[in-house]
Amino acid sequence: MIKRQTAFVLLVLLLAASACGTEDWHERLVYTGPIEIGIESGSFLAGTDIQYLGETDQGAQVIIGGQQATKRIGDSLEWAGEMVPGVMVNLSLRIVFVTQDTLQTAGTVRVTVEGAEPVVEDIDMSAVVHYVLPVVYRVERGAAIPGTTITYEGQEDEGARLGSIEGYAYRRVGDSILWQGRLLPGVWLDLTLRTALITEGQLDVVGTADVWIRPQG
């Protein structure tokens, strides 16, 4: 048990050592990481114009930009565009396996949110696009955790003191910090963090960002 706890602490400290700066996040928020996406036959890759038609002897039949293409296992499947105003998504996928019912892909996604204006509100779980991506942040004293209304107010005996948060305001190393809300119209964030390092001048956190997008049209 002690070895596991030690490994956890070393891991979060290593991640915190590479934590991203946060001074410009109001202009641009970036979420990136690995993903797996399955596309059912007759359906579209969520938020895009890529449609899976089904499997033939030649391979997976897909429509990309209005044109039909045959794809085999290992082939690329890429898309880039603005899903909602201010939110650019770049998908770089490879086909993992194909059945008549499903086209399974794996790869990476990059979500860029311009001019985020975080507001606490319930997430629209009906939004068809949903990515779960890793995040690592270094938050200076007096600044907000990127994409949230929560601020870091400094270190006290009880731990890190947080601002603009309901209930108990303090967190020790390893404690969780949660935030849910809207970044822009049509895009929501569910942030699950744990404190990795606390000093008087900074707070390092690691965790995951659930990004939900409701494309227009």
Encode pLDDT of 103-121 as tens digits: 999 999 999 999 999 999 9
- CA pair distance 170, 123, nearest whole angstrom: 25
In the chain, domain spans: 2-27+115-213, 32-114
Reference 189, options 207, 165, 163, 169; nearest CA is 207
Tell me: the pLDDT tens digits for 9-58? 444 444 444 444 455 888 899 999 999 999 999 999 999 999 999 999 99
pLDDT of residue 23: 57
What number of CA atoms fall less than 13 Å from residue 154's CA on the CB side?
4
Look at residue 217 and tell me whether its pLDDT is greater than 70: no
- CA pair distance 100, 55, nearest whole angstrom: 5
Do the beta carbons of residue 206 and residue 135 sit within 8 Å? yes
Give ∠ CA 22-26-31 in degrees, rounded to 5.
65
Tell me: the pLDDT tens digits for 176-197? 999 999 999 999 999 999 999 9
Max CA distance (Å), the chain: 67
pLDDT of residue 11: 46
